[in-house]
Amino acid sequence: MGVQLTVGMGEIQVVRGAGNVLTALGLGSCIGVCLYDPLVRVAGMVHVVLPQSQADKIGELPGKFADTAIPATVQRMVEMGASASRLKAAIAGGAQLFQFGTSSTLDVGARNAEAVVAALRQAGIPLLAKDVGGSVGRTLRLLSDNGLVVVRTIGGAERELATLGSILASSGVAA
């Protein structure tokens, strides 16, 4: 029997085996990062809130910040039997307040996306697909069967973003 887990803000969830589903609900400027090792079917998701951790605040919720979230998730996945070198990634979120002709100082969504991409690159994990930016809320799901990543726009359509377990999934789009 698989489990269905919700990944709250700043949380990391890792599951192993088929039949599990990880979900991040209501991604605004936050980024949901999906990581998957197809060989052992270890799936991980982290709900990143802000780009950068501050030295005095690391510890309680490493998943909150892009720079600490990726290493912490990888570590949890490796502890569950995954190999860091087999991991593939897909991300969604990073929305911004709609720009009404003026520049916005509240650009945390864009900074988050940038920081997550950089952290993945640093970890050497190929980023196969991303659905970031815009002014919509998103819901992100990762299926542990095959690494299928599904994004739903709140109030809009659902679409398959990537299958991280596909044999064709080898190179990155933006890493």
Partner 1 sequence: MNTAAPEKLQQLVQTIRDLPALPEVVVRVMRMTEDPRTDAQSIARVIATDQAMAARVLKLANSAFYGLPRRVSTLSEAVVILGFRTIKNLAIAASTFELLNREIAGYWLQRGELWRHSLACAIGAQLIARRIRLPVTEEAFVAGLLHDIGKVAINLFVREQFDQIMQRALQDQIAFVDAEQAVLGFNHAMAGGLIAEKWNLPPTLVAVIKYHHQPSTAPDHDPMISIVHLADVLAITLGIGIGGDGLYYHFEEDTMTLFGMEQADLDDLCEQIVDQMARAVSLQEQPEVVLQ
> Which residues form the interface with partner 1 (CB under 8 A)?
8-10, 26-30, 49-50, 57, 61, 64, 93, 95-98, 100-102, 104-106, 108-109, 135-137, 154-156
Residue 20 and residue 41: Cα distance in Å, rounded? 10
- For residues 22 and 125, which CB has a smaller minimum distance to partner 1 in the complex? 22
Residue 76 and residue 129: Cα distance in Å, rounded? 22
CB of 73 to partner 1, least distance (A): 17
- Is 34 catalytic? The answer is no
Going by the DSSP 8-state scheme, the letter that residue 95 receives in this structure is -
- For residues 7 and 82, which CB has a smaller minimum distance to partner 1 in the complex? 7
Does an H or E element contain 120, and which?
helix 108-123
> Which one from 7, 30, 91, 115 is the annotated catalytic residue?
30
- For residues 10 and 165, which CB has a smaller minimum distance to partner 1 in the complex? 10
Residue 127 and residue 54: Cα distance in Å, rounded? 26
CB of 51 to partner 1, least distance (A): 8
Classified as helix, coil or strand, 53 is: coil
CB of 117 to partner 1, least distance (A): 19
CB of 122 to partner 1, least distance (A): 21
Q: Considering Cα of 112, then 162, then 28, then 73, what sign does the dihedral take? A: negative
- For residues 112 and 163, which CB has a smaller minimum distance to partner 1 in the complex? 112
Q: Which of 135, 133, 116, 134 is nearest to 45 (CA)?
A: 116
Which residues are the active-site residues?
30
